[in-house]
Structure 1
Amino acid sequence: MGNESSTSYMSRHMYEIAREIASLIGDYLWLKPGTTVYEESDRISDLDIVTFNLNSRNPTPNTGGIIQMAATLSFSTSKPVHYYTEKSIAVPVRSIPMQFLNISQDEKNHNEAQITGFWTDLFKEAVAVMPINTTYKLVPFYGSDDQLFKALARRTFDAAIGLTVMTRKGSELLEFSYPYFEVGPMLVMKEKPEPNQVFSFMMPFTNEMWCTLAAMTMFNAFVIWLVESRTGHESVGAIFWFPLATLFYGGHRESPRSNLTYFVLAPWLVLILVVSSTYTQSFTSMITSSDTESSSCLDIEDLKKTNAIVGCDMEDSIMLQHLVEYIGFQRKNIKHIAQSSIDDYAKALSTGKIKAAFFWAPYSGLFLAKYCKGFRSWGPNHNLRGSSVIFPRDSPFAPYMSEAMVRLCGSGKFKRMKDDLLSFPECSSSTIDVTMKRGIGPGPFSGLFILSGTASAVAILITVIRPMRRRWERLVQGMLMGRGLWVWLTTLFSRDQRGNQLQVQLARISFTSQTQLTSS
């Protein structure tokens, strides 16, 4: 087939030979003679190649080049022989959400990989609407983006699918399909709760803290009322409100009479002082920072200045390089989280392990579709070139794929596929119960609560035991009064008689006895 005058003749009964030859020259784009800028009508397709001539003007053409026919094909065999071969499509095995790309073992053939997901479905739909018939095979590719670019440049593969962001080096070697997705790093952060609510004044403390504080206040008020009521205080009601009033002001008209009241109030006032100062600082900080948070919570410059920890898939070399070299994050402040698990990102953002997360634009849309409450996105801050299908330079397959993508977008098929991808039966909020926790709990004040509660409990015991002791003493005295000797002994050794009182009592007894004897 190298000489211009040479002709290879194949009869209609030698179809197998024609098929083998067609497979060898299948990477060429066959055109009519004299074609320079070809149109669809200039292509020779769906013909049975039986007798043909090749010009010797391209004796050693490049793979995928254009060869002109020297003669018109006029007859065919019973079966068509196409001018293309099976396309080898590389599928990069990387950390990608399984909704976009999932590689698993084929159930029927365990030696083969089963590849599913949005990228493969989109590629199949594009191939179905292409103006040419073609077959392809999806081949998993284990390697970095640079290795994939080099493999495509060597034409090891006819194309590669999956979102690929192009670098300057890669753009010199490869071609892109129609850019139907916005490509660029998206910043996602946890959304701050709005403080402008009716009960925003309760936000500095948790519900547990408020309940504990109210219970301790009522308990101390009851103890003070119990103690002061034993002293016959005229304004017991005012004393009852003393623990409540200490929450708001310090001056009081009524002063406690019992030392036990001061014993109860001392740790309670310390607790109130610490709690009130903490509440004031927390509430003031929340109010003053609300405007700043609402306007700059997604500010990249603030993240860099504060050395905030951000998360991204560090196995994605292009994303990592973009964050470090272009945006300016320090590598030590970047935490690796696999992009395949968007739930891990939601957990890390909710618990505060990272302040922000970076996704490529299509994947951030999936994240926000699943977690539509409690998170916000911003970007892309730098729009980059990229596509889900890339080809070697000057690939004849690229124009048809771009045309097919345009058809899918124009027909609405792509939008329906995207809506199905981003539709979830239930929209999650900020994922975890930790996100619902707000304010300070009773934990930091537990020591003061225990001290105040112990003091009140001791005061109750003393207040209850005192009258019981007095009643017991009177009961014992009443029992002893029934007998003379015991009455004398009780009178003699009464705790109210001391020293000279005992002598006076004995003198009186002696004087009485002498008087009786004299009179008798």
Structure 2
Amino acid sequence: MKELMSHNYYHQLFLFFFGIHLLGGDYGLVVMGQNTKQVVIEEFKVGVVLDLNMSVAKVWLTSMNMALSDFYATTSHKRRLVFHVRDSNRDVLDASSAAIDLIKNVEVQAIIGPMSSSQAIHMVLLGSRSQVPIISFSATSPSISLSQNPYFIRTSLEDSAQVNAIAAVVKAFGWRTVVPLYEDTEYGHGIIPYLVDALQSVNTRVPYRSVFPVSASDDRIVQELHNLRTMQTRVFILHMASPLGLRIFEKAKKIGMMSEGYSWMVTEGLGSHLSSYNSSVIDSMQGVIAVRPYIPISKELSSFGVKWKRKFQKENPDIERSLDILGIWAYDTVWALARAVEKLKNANPRFSKGKTSSLNSSDVAKLGVSQIGPELLQGISNIKFKGLSGDFHLVNRQLQSKTFQILNVVGTGAREVGIWTLSNGIIKDISLVETAKSTYLASNKDNLRPIIWPGDTTDIPKGWEIPTNDKKLRIGVPVKMGFNEFVKVEKNSDSYSGYEVTGYCIEVFDAALNKLPYAVLYDLIPYQNSDGKAGSYDDLVYQVNVQKFDAVVGDVTITANRSEIVDFTLPYAEGGVSMVVRVKKDMSKDTWIFLKPLEWKLWVTTGAFFLIIGAVIWILEHRVNREFRGGPHPLYQWGTMLSFSFSTLVFAQKERVLSTLGRFVIGIWFFVVLILTQSYTANLTSMLTIQRSDPTYSDINELIKYGYNVGYQEGSFVFGMLKQKGFVESNLKIYRSPEEFDEAFSKGTSKGGIDAAFEELPYIELLLASYCDKYMMVGEIYQNDGLSFVFPKGSPLGPDISRKILSIREEGKTQKLKQASFKSKISCSNKDAFASSNSLTLSSFWVLFLITGLCAAFSIIVFLIVFLRENRHILNDSNSATREKIIDLLEKFYEYDENRMITYFECNPACNEQNKFVLNEDKQAAETVDTGDSPPRIDNSPSIASFGIVTPQNVNSNTARRNSTTLNADYDIGYFTATSEGDADFENSTPRDGVRTSPLHNLMTHDIDLQGHRGFEEY
């Protein structure tokens, strides 16, 4: 208790002497002592320049004084800041004069202020000259360059820091156009370039900028607001200081611009003071979205707010204000300066005198130079501490923040609807900052809490409206002398514009407008150039860019150059440019027409596979099938292979395929051949049936090489395309209508006409419908995006029209409208006018060839595996060299396989119904035997059993059946299918003349009639 009383005593004594110092004048030192101990506190002079007549300045000054008291009450110190306050009177010159006075006469070591960016621009020059740091928490304009003003310190956020948060909100609601409103000051202008860049990065356009003088009259404000009402945009961003900004909201509410359909946003300049505005101001701002720096809530801040309010009301009983963000930054600014001063090593407050001459004796020239300025500047720049506003840390002499608060003015104040952070984008609550994932990086309106918009509605404004002052959209249309099916302009005195515009393009545009949920009023205005003639399409599109027209409706093609200055809707007609030439009739038969059903690649591939399949079948059959052995010379076998392969084309092959793998391959190949032959026949029939028409020219290079004239439609971009292709301009001829098109072709190049024309696909369709028996489209199609409608860059109407065009195209309505518009021109039914290659291509059959190749490869691999396994004794023979092994394997591969050989033979005339074909199960002999006078019984039963010959004379009924062989399936033996029935012991077989017999051990015979048929013989 004694120590506490002693502490309170010294504290009271200190306040007493400090009060005397403030009231009695400037003292260089404050001396405190007890007994023989003395504490010397150095005075550190600091200038303060504010607009003291403004209530907000009183808010900030209260915060600064409280910061001074709190710092020295809680921190041991050896120096004390002493404020020297000056009034800038809202004037740039007064602010500069105050700074000169403070530096020259008072010799302050730092200046806090001024309030506005306009005043700061001049004051920072004085600070740099005298090395006195100018510290401002309210001069936020980015136009004040920190790099060019080394003694300027901004202890607040630069205005440009908030533009990304604003752009994120705009993107979240999909607004395509935004109009900024700002004051005509450094503060107002400074943010605009950064704001426009941020909006453009989210594909939002700024079609207009509204600038208000600070001293604008009410009439001037109302006039400008009425001007904004006549525009389509309904999203406004207000960047102003409080007095002017609040007046604009007041007038906007009176003229109905704070109603449903409008959206208003305010920057930090107004958003930071929302808690200080009275009820009438808040009432005029209902539904406004505000963006301001995020200040984390803490116990210290809450406690300070209570104490600040008590002190402010005591000092300013007639003013109702609340603590704002700048007041908090003012508090932290004083703490930062006091901390930096305590850390100074050189505390010499002296100024060195400036150099002057008789020619330059102004007050600015007489300013001294602070000796501790550089050290103080460095000390403040390096200060880091936990302040009321959060972490106080200057980067490049400027406060940094990556978090902004999004507020919605509703009811009696503002409520938080979201948070924006640099790393997470828009989130609902600050607690999600640590847990938010990358999904939050994309701005999403679902990440915001519900918002009450102007007009007391929760319906999100779409961001634009058709002007409500009965001003119609001025829509330009091309004037065409021909091709009136697309756009037709006729004079009509009853029309507002004096013209009546009809055609396919107009009907599509009206169909899209009719699907919109709102009405669009417009006037169609024919475009004519300064000479009164129809202008080019490029000139017509340019009129939208210079705002002469609000849109262009017509047969305008989307091109890259045009899309740089305007926006196009989705195309309503197909795109592409191709060549049209006269048809050359050829009634004679084409000698080589039989080759044209298939393209050459398909012919080559088919021929190759005939050879491949023939080779594969030969490999699989030649060791077990006598019919693939041919003569003694190898060439005979190759002849057999080729003959078999190509005969499969007509399924007339003589040789029978017996092996399982061979049948597998030939079955697949038969299917492929069947598909090919059927396709070939159908295509050839089509070519021979339909009257053939050939183009006179089909190669663009031929036209260029021989200097033939080519035509293009007047005003079309095709002219530039042809010049790029290499055509000489003198060979490019204009036509304006289908009639001129036909006339130019009838003349030809020799008479000043044309031999080819390049046109867009929609026009070609119309031309061929009119002259389908005379012209045809040939050659390459040069792709483009098609015909579309034109709107200004960022127009909000364009995307809506695009969606409706997509809708009517899906419904097929565009096609119906085109048929109705072109109906009068469809004069023939020949649909073969478009020249195209009817040859079948390899791409249509490559899968079949791939499957066939894989099956053939699989069969060969299996065959080789079995072959090598059966002849592994050759491979395992250690006494033979590798070369000898290879030769032995090749010989083995080529020779007959006596154990497996199956051949066909033709029964000679001597065969009779009693001759039987005998299979010996031990593979040693084959006999033709006489079974007696009775004809053999042929058993075609499909049952599975042992098989053999059964005759009445030769079978001993007492002889037991033995050595039966059971099959698991029907045994295919060519023309017959015999099932086994059993074997018999032919003990009493008798040789006949001319027929050799042998002992019949384990003999089995097939019940097959050999007379006049082909049979088997197995060795």
Q: TM-score under structure 1 normalisation?
A: 0.49
Higher strand share: 2
**Higher normalized contact order (CA 8 Å, seq sep 6+, divided by chain length):** 1
Q: TM-score under structure 2 normalisation?
A: 0.26
Question: Larger C-alpha radius of gyration, 1 or 2?
Answer: 2
